[in-house]
Amino acid sequence: THFGFRDVPLGDKQTLVNDVFHSVASRYDLMNDLMSGGLHRVWKDIMITALDPPRGDRRFALLDVAGGTGDISFRAAKAAGPGFHATVCDINSGMLEVGRERAAKRHLKTQVDFVEGNAEALAFADRSFDAYTIAFGIRNVPRIDLALAEAYRVLKPGSRFLCLEFSTVEMPGLDRLYDLFSFKVIPPLGRMITGDAESYQYLVESIRKFPRPNAFADMIRNAGFARVNWQILSGGIVALHSGWRL
Ligand code: SAM
């Protein structure tokens, strides 16, 4: 096929992913709005509602993995009280740099930290966070089971794992429209804005390869999480998975 990313070995996948996000970092937030028609804002808000960070002084430490330019953490900080703190962890320094600038602009530098790191091997102590979020990130991680095990390890007992990710559109009618949009609109739009259609080709392919909601829920359970469930958003374009470390 003409799709370059399909058969890359596991070790090289992370390199490709890194190239993708380095090349789009400065335009990343604009692209999100354009490509989702602003819908990513709605999906992210639904995640924040599920997270439900405390509004008072109670200390609450969020770990936002693959947090990129900080969207989830900023939204959570806005919804939360003064006891809230977020650590954005991402493997890509370019994304983190954009995030730091955004934090400064929003006067959130003390509430939101940016740390370089790999979801598969987190540099945080066991049982150190009150919540773990990963939005549109886990699909990019080569070994998802390792990332889930790490999520479980760093969470305090009684705290929550939340994952927002593109899913599978199975609604008749919408599925064909979505295919058309994915293959005919996204890559050219990506080329127009970032000069890089390949990165967006990768995006579309990685979405297709990601497990169905029930299969992904099994993976979350296998990592040790309890009360695992999920919510389908926008006809299956996105799913929000939830689990608890008890
Ligand atoms: N969560 C942000 C949001 O919703 O706007 C950013 C999502 S962005 C689509 C995906 C992010 O995953 C990129 O910033 C990328 O660098 C990061 N990423 C990819 N592989 C990773 C890994 N192994 N560990 C941590 N972050 C990773």
pLDDT in tens, 69-97: 999 999 999 999 999 999 999 999 999 99
Taking the CA atoms of 120, 121, 123 and 128 in sequence, report the sign of the dihedral they define. positive
Domains of the chain, first to last: 10-245 (3.40.50.150)
Q: Is 120 in the pocket of ligand 1 (CB under 6 A)?
A: yes
User: Mean pLDDT across the stretch 178-205?
Assistant: 87
State how far the Cα of 59 lies from the Cα of 237, in Å rounded to an integer.
34
Q: Is 21 in the pocket of ligand 1 (CB under 6 A)?
A: yes
- Per-residue pLDDT of 120-164, as tens digits, reads 999 999 999 999 999 999 999 999 999 999 999 999 999 999 999
Distance 172 CA to ligand 1 centre (A): 31
State how far the Cα of 62 lies from the Cα of 71, in Å rounded to an integer.
13
User: Mean pLDDT across the stretch 100-127?
Assistant: 98
What does pLDDT average to over the chain?
A: 93
Q: Is the pTM of this model over 0.90?
A: yes
Q: Is 35 in the pocket of ligand 1 (CB under 6 A)?
A: no
- Lowest mean pLDDT across 3-12, 64-73, 88-97, 201-210: 3-12
Q: Is 140 in the pocket of ligand 1 (CB under 6 A)?
A: yes
pLDDT score, position 3:
42
- Per-residue pLDDT of 36-81, as tens digits, reads 999 999 999 999 999 999 999 999 999 999 999 999 999 999 999 9
pLDDT score, position 2:
39
pLDDT score, position 5:
52
User: Mean pLDDT across the stretch 200-222?
Assistant: 94
Residues tagged in the binding site annotation for S-adenosyl-L-methionine? 69, 90, 118-119
Percent of residues, the chain, with pLDDT higher than 70: 96
pLDDT score, position 94:
95
Which residue lies with its CA nearest to atom 9 of ligand 1? Answer: 136
More confident residue, 87 or 185: 87
Q: In this structure, are residues 110 and 86 in contact, taking their beta carbons and an 8 Å threshold?
A: no
Burial of 139 (0-12, 13-18, 19+ CB in 10 A): buried
Measured in Å, how far apart are the chain's first and last C-alpha atoms? 45
Pocket test for ligand 1, best of 74, 92, 120 (most atoms within 8 A of CB): 92
Q: Is 135 in the pocket of ligand 1 (CB under 6 A)?
A: yes
pLDDT score, position 195:
82
pLDDT score, position 1:
34
Pocket test for ligand 1, best of 8, 21, 75 (most atoms within 8 A of CB): 21
